[in-house]
Amino acid sequence: MYDTIIIGAGPAGMSAGIYAGRYKLSAAVFEATSPGGQMLLTHKVCNYAGVEEDTSGFDLAEKMKGQLEELKVPIIGEEVAEIEKRGKMFVVSTQEGKDYKTKSIIIATGATHAHLDIPGEDELLGRGVSYCATCDAKFFEGKAVAVVGGGNTALESAAFLSKTAKKVYLIHRRQEFRGDSVLVDEVKESGVELVLDTVCTEIKGKNKVDSLMLENVNTKEKKELELDGVFINIGVAPVANLAEHLGTKIDKKNYVMVDREQKTSVEGVYAAGDITGGFRQVSVAVGEGATAAYSAMHYIKNIK
């Protein structure tokens, strides 16, 4: 029987685990993949207070993981299949067929990559199609690539790829970018070619990416770009299936609804990080994770 089980080991989940450990709660973090979440895709964390600019998302994730280890809060490498509420207790069932009991739940399942949903995207995944520039840039040294998107992730990816790729195109469906102006300036100074007012209609290739089909949203003019890789950074979709099945209220964009204490509509269940929507930053996720653990601690004291 745990005091709290945290689902997801991104910055929100690991922060919740760290605070739970500090509060002397019996806690466990469940993460089927590598701890760090979307933070692992950031090649340089440059807006987190007190962190040096040469720190990568991977480095920061490793430090958080180390704090959990010091506090003896385990990261259990199992995928959660279902959460069931039984009175004042919850049962967390994993794909491995194991059940874990807990008094409270902190959902920090984050978000996953949004897809273009165009021909060739799924077929060429891992063969030129990627959602992570920091993960896969090394495979495209000296080659031509395109980044699709207009937010901070797309801008960061384009600037990062420009250091090693032969040619980088940044394709965005509008004239204006959603990302920070400092990142826009960095991209413009890096030599990335901007392809604006343009959408992607197809990724072509047999065994690998050969080209990208484009269409101008205003003129409807079509053209084909010969490329070796396509990096898709058009946003994220919340991973809310567990929360939804548990009965927590979900908004129209599928984000879990919480109050200022990170409480959901289900007693004893809290949510933190990208799963709650809002400003997608490591600092925000860490703060929400800390708040969720604090709220869970008071809830556990009251039910005792």
pLDDT per residue as tens digits for the range 145-160: 999 999 998 999 999 9
User: CATH 3.50.50.60 occupies which residues in the chain?
Assistant: 4-113+236-303, 129-232
Q: What is the CATH code for 4-113+236-303?
A: 3.50.50.60
Contact predicate 104/19, CB 8 Å = no
Tens-digit pLDDT profile for residues 241-252: 999 999 999 999
Label residue 304 by pLDDT band (50, 70, 90). low
Tens-digit pLDDT profile for residues 38-71: 888 777 787 789 988 778 888 999 999 999 999 9
Residue 252 and residue 254: Cα distance in Å, rounded? Answer: 5
CATH 3.50.50.60 assigned to 129-232: yes
Better-scored residue on pLDDT, 43 or 93: 93
Three-state DSSP class for residue 244:
helix
The percentage of residues in the chain with a pLDDT greater than 70, rounded to a whole number, is 99
Q: Return the closest-CA partner of residue 242 out of 146, 122, 56, 108.
A: 108
Bridge partners for 263 per DSSP: 270
Mean pLDDT, range 187-214, rounded to an integer: 96
The pTM is what? 0.79
User: What's the mean pLDDT when you consider all of the chain?
Assistant: 94
Contact predicate 27/48, CB 8 Å = no
Label residue 300 by pLDDT band (50, 70, 90). very high
